[in-house]
Amino acid sequence: MLHSKLTGIKIFNYRNFKQKSLSFSNKHTLLKGKNAVGKTSILEAISFLSPGNGFKKDLLENIINSDSMNDGASINLFFRDEDMEQSLKIIFQFKESKLHKNYLLNDKKISQQELMNIFQLFWFSELDKVYFIKDKQYQRNSCNRIMCYFNSDLFKLLNQYSKLRREKKKIFLTTQDRSWLESVDRQLLPIVKSIMDIKYEFMVKFNSFMIDHPNTFFNYYLKYDFQEITIHDFLEKFESEMKKENESKGESPLNSFYDPAKAVFSLSHENIPINQLSSAQSKLLILSFFLDMATFLKLMQNKITIFLIDEIFDNFDIVNLQKVIKYCAKNNFQSFFSSTDNFTIKEEIRDLEIIDIK
């Protein structure tokens, strides 16, 4: 049986590329080249296999080549899955002055949630490390994305939750009609329960997994925001906060502890929070955490698992790079790295393809 993997990419009108095609013959690929030749742009294009705006979190308008804005942009990704060659096309087009993004799997339109049933992506760069440590919202979004890979229904539920919360805020700004507010609350409660059901299941199964799988590179402790409260009590607290919010006419936001979108987990090492660790320690912690999560999720559902590490030698030395690639190979992950360093390592690491980007 052939292993599932990404086999190639073709981008059009994307960033500084008018057109660029690459084939990936090995499971591990290093993109090498000078600054500003587009290495990170290629990794970013691959990261669109995950819902959202790519790992750079940039505005979609900024990814289109500035010389041909009206033409939009596209990313064609080719992959082998279940012994079949398949293609995924991501199209960025302007409609009524607004940029839209559509996914076509073998020319058939699919949703971002369906995409999560095929691929799971993890990425790491120095900037990601900084955001993960210092930006609570970024960390929450990263944790929620990981749990969405565990159960893609969570992606839809979180979107429904956010939509209803925005609707409630609009009501506060207009009529503040209590019956409307209570109607939104009634719609929210079953959604919140479904969200927390998935998150509790994730917690139980990942904890069980970690008993049999010691930390990969760096010892860390995962503390869930909701581990000391039952789902029933969480829902009661959430409902109570909503009633207080209605009485305060929108002036008092929900307590973040009982907000299902914010109920995720925090990381520490030997009782030291991640934001108090050294730069080297925090890098190894985040990487170890991502690798463990990927292993766990691949055991749950056999998806194409991809790691992206931008400017690899800014983050790890050759020893840790070898560890990462060996771990990815052992667990049948595919990895992509970029670097400006001029070095020769092809003989040192098996199954690593080096591609010069010019």
Q: What is the pLDDT of residue 176?
A: 64
What is the average per-residue pLDDT within 256-262? 87
Residue written as tokens 């369906």?
Answer: 114
146-156 per-position pLDDT tens digit: 999 999 999 99
**Average pLDDT of span 1-16:** 85
Between CA 298 and CA 296 the distance in angstroms is 6
**Nearest Cα residue to 346 out of 334, 354, 338:** 354
Distance (Å, whole) CA 49 – CA 59: 17
* Range in 85-89, 98-102, 119-123, 309-313 with the lowest mean pLDDT: 309-313
Percent over 90 (pLDDT), the chain = 55
| Higher-confidence position of 189 and 331 | 189
Identify whether the C-beta of residue 145 lies closer than 8 Å to the C-beta of residue 199: no
What's residue 129's pLDDT? 85
Which value, to the nearest 10 degrees, does the dihedral of the CA atoms of residues 154, 285, 342, 17 take?
Answer: 20
Q: 């030698």: which residue's tokens?
A: 313
Four-residue CA torsion sign, 208, 209, 214, 217: negative
What percent of the chain has a predicted confidence (pLDDT) above 70?
A: 92
347 vs 121, residue with greater confidence:
121
What's the rounded mean pLDDT across residues 238-261? 80
Structure tokens, 169: 């805020």
Establish how many alpha carbons lie within 13 A of residue 217's alpha carbon, considering only the half-sphere containing its beta carbon: 24
Per-residue pLDDT tens digits for 27-54: 899 899 988 899 999 999 999 999 989 8
- Return the H-helix or E-strand segment holding 335: strand 334-339
Q: Which domains are delineated in the chain?
A: 1-118+304-358 (3.40.50.300), 124-302 (1.20.1050.90)
What would the mean pLDDT of 236-248 be, rounded to a whole number? 88
Whether 1 has a pLDDT exceeding 60, the answer reads no
* Alpha-carbon distance values, 137 to 48, 134, 257 (Å): 20, 9, 14
Give the lowest-confidence range in 162-171, 236-245, 248-257, 298-307.
Answer: 248-257
The mean pLDDT of the chain is 88
In DSSP notation, 235-258 reads HHHHHHHHHHHHHTTTSSPPPGGG
**Residue of higher predicted confidence among 326 and 336:** 336
The long-range contacts involving 169-177, CB below 8 angstroms and separated by at least 24 positions, are 169/250, 172/249, 172/250, 173/250, 176/249, 176/250
CA diameter of the chain: 70
| pLDDT exceeds cutoff 70 at 346 | no
pLDDT of residue 272: 96
pLDDT bin (cut points 50, 70, 90) of residue 200 is very high
Provide the pLDDT for residue 236: 95
Confidence of residue 215 (pLDDT cuts 50, 70, 90): low
**pLDDT at residue number 252:** 63
What is the C-alpha R_g of the chain? 22
Q: Order of strands across the sheet with 265-269?
A: 221-224, 265-269, 272-273
Of 103 and 212, more confident: 103
Q: What is residue 352's predicted lDDT score, i.e. its pLDDT?
A: 83
Cβ pair 282, 312 in contact under 8 A: no
| pTM to 2 decimal places | 0.91
- CA angle 260–99–357, rounded 5-degree value: 95
Alpha-carbon distance 240 to 246, whole Å?
10
**Rounded mean pLDDT, 56-81:** 88
